[in-house]
Amino acid sequence: MSVKKYESQLREPLVNGNKTYGQVTHDIVHTIEAKPTRLWYIGFYVSVALLMFGAYSVYREVVYGIGQWNVNRTIGWGWDITNFVWWVGIGHAGTLISPSFSFSAKAGEQGLTVQLRP
C-alpha cells in the first residue's frame, strides 16, 4: 500500500529530504521515549527538594502561624505585604517591557522577535 504525499502549492515543504512518516514520527517522539539523562535526574531531584521545602514551609505556617512573617513587629510591613508588592511590581514590569521589545523592531530589522522562517 502506498501513501500519497500531500504537498502544498502555497508554501515549501515542512520536511526536507525523502523521509517517510515513520521517520518523521521517530524524530519527533525520540526525545520523550528515550531514557532520561543524568541532567534530567539532577533536575528531578532539585525539583523534589524544592517541593519538600514547600511542604515544610506549609507545615511551619500551620503550626506557628503568620507570626513568623514578622507581622507582629511594628517596624516593618511584614512579609505578606512586601511579597505582594514585589510580585505585583514584577508583573507590571514584565507587562511594560515585553511589548516594548516586540514593537521596537524597525522596518527591515528583526529586533528581539523570533522569525520562524528565513
Q: Would you state the pLDDT for residue 74? A: 61
Distance set, CA 20 to CA 3, 26, 27, 116 (Å): 9, 10, 11, 24
Residue 103 scores a pLDDT above 70: no
The Cα–Cα gap between 102 and 114 comes to 9
In sequence order, what are the residues at sequence separation of 6 or more whose Cβ sits closer than 8 angstroms to the Cβ of residue 44?
Answer: 36
Distance (Å, rounded) from C-alpha 101 to C-alpha 112?
A: 6
* Per-residue pLDDT, 52: 98
Q: Give the pLDDT band of residue 93 (cuts 50, 70, 90).
A: confident
Average pLDDT over the chain reads 78
Say what the pLDDT of residue 60 is: 92
d(CA 54, CA 48): 10
Domain ranges of the chain: 21-99
Query: What does the alpha-carbon distance between residue 9 and residue 7 come to, in Å, rounded to a whole number?
Result: 7
pLDDT of 50 higher than 60:
yes
